[in-house]
Amino acid sequence: MTLLFTIVLIAASCFMVLLVLLHKGRGGGMSDMFGGGVSSSLGGSSVAERNLDRLTVGIGVIWFACVIALGLLLAYQN
């Protein structure tokens, strides 16, 4: 079980780094290279940027759950 959570944690960490790099920063980010820079004037941010935000939060929740699960598994391991 520990091995499974470790593998998921490593995969989520790598994916999280990729997602954070795709976000738009102050002067634009790598997301501009892939069409994320085209934003509508009504919403303030594009659909691609909102979906990227949602995906980043979801992967962050998975990452956090894996860290907690590994901590509990290792703390109560016989």
Q: What is the total count of domains within the chain?
A: 1
Looking at the predicted structure, is the pLDDT value of residue 57 above 90?
yes
49 and 24 Cβ atoms separated by less than 8 Å: yes
- Mean pLDDT check: name the lowest of 18-22, 32-36, 52-56, 62-66: 32-36
Looking at the predicted structure, is the pLDDT value of residue 18 above 80?
yes
Phi and psi at 62, nearest 5°, equal: -65, -45
Task: Note whether residue 51 is domain-resident.
Answer: yes
Looking at the predicted structure, is the pLDDT value of residue 48 above 90?
no
CA 2, chain centre distance (Å): 22
Task: Note whether residue 30 is domain-resident.
Answer: no
Looking at the predicted structure, is the pLDDT value of residue 12 above 90?
yes
Task: Note whether residue 9 is domain-resident.
Answer: yes
Q: What pLDDT is stored for residue 32 in this prediction? A: 61
Domain region containing 1? 1-22+43-78
